[in-house]
């Protein structure tokens, strides 16, 4: 069973969201964080209006509170936290936005072989 074909209208929405995300990254890297935030907000608006299922990698790289593009060392900090000192299965990746101090937590120690659903299709 091959991949589903998307209707042209939905392809246009995905293309617009992709363009806005790439433009947001470009403007952030070239020293214009305000314009970058506007573009990232546009990605969120397009995805909500068109009811798009964005890739988890893309969703995780935009702050949910301030709509800032998250880049390690530039607009966010990353750390690994483990409240149970002797349990490596309890490792948690903590990503904190430097703009609004919102922290997002992802469990990473429970299953080291875990892959996101979008990454599984690429390997097979």
Three-class SS of 41-92? HHHHHHHHHCCCCCCHHHHHCECCCCCCECCECCCEEEEEECCCCCCHHHCE
The pLDDT assigned to 39 comes to 96
The pLDDT assigned to 79 comes to 92
- What's the whole-model pTM score? 0.80
Model confidence pLDDT, tens digit, residues 64-85: 999 999 999 999 999 988 888 7
Rounded to whole angstroms, how far apart are CA atoms 24 and 34?
9
- Residues of the chain where predicted confidence (pLDDT) is lower than 70: 1-9, 112, 121-124
Report which DSSP code applies to 93. Answer: E
């Amino acid at each position: 069973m091959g991949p589903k074909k998307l209707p042209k209208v939905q392809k246009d929405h995905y293309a617009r969201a992709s363009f806005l995300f790439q433009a947001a990254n470009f403007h952030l890297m070239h020293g214009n964080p305000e314009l970058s935030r506007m573009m990232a907000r546009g990605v969120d608006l397009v995805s909500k209006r068109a009811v798009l299922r964005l890739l988890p990698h893309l969703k995780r790289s935009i702050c949910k509170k301030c709509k800032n593009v998250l880049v390690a060392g530039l607009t966010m900090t990353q750390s690994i936290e483990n409240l149970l000192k002797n349990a490596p299965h309890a490792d948690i990746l903590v990503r904190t936005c430097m703009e609004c101090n919102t922290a997002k937590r992802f469990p990473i120690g429970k299953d080291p072989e875990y892959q996101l659903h979008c990454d599984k299709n690429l390997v097979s």
